[in-house]
């Protein structure tokens, strides 16, 4: 039987990573780094999206 990607431990860990990235970027040091914040957030989502798309 095929597993749904949402059951993969690596997918769940990627969601944890996104949460940690968002928490990390809330720091005062990064409040004016709009482009950096945007790029790092997109990179985090890219990980989970690629797992979902390709079903590693």
The domain spans of the chain are: 5-54
pLDDT over 70 (residue 56): no
CB-facing half-sphere around the CA of 16: CA atoms within 13 A: 6
CA 55 vs CA 2, 13, 15, 19, 28: distances in Å: 10, 14, 15, 21, 36
1-38 pLDDT, tens per residue?
A: 567 889 899 999 999 999 999 999 998 888 899 999 99
In this predicted structure, the answer to whether residue 40 has a pLDDT above a threshold of 90 is yes
- What pLDDT does residue 5 have? 87
Q: Identify the pLDDT of residue 1.
A: 53
What pLDDT, on the 0 to 100 scale, is given for residue 39? 96
């Amino acid at each position: 039987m095929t597993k749904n990607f949402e059951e993969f431990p690596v997918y769940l860990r990627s969601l944890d990573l996104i949460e940690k990235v968002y928490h990390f970027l809330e720091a005062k040091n990064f409040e004016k780094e709009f482009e950096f914040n945007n790029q790092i957030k997109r990179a985090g989502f890219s990980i989970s999206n690629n797992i979902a798309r390709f079903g590693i």
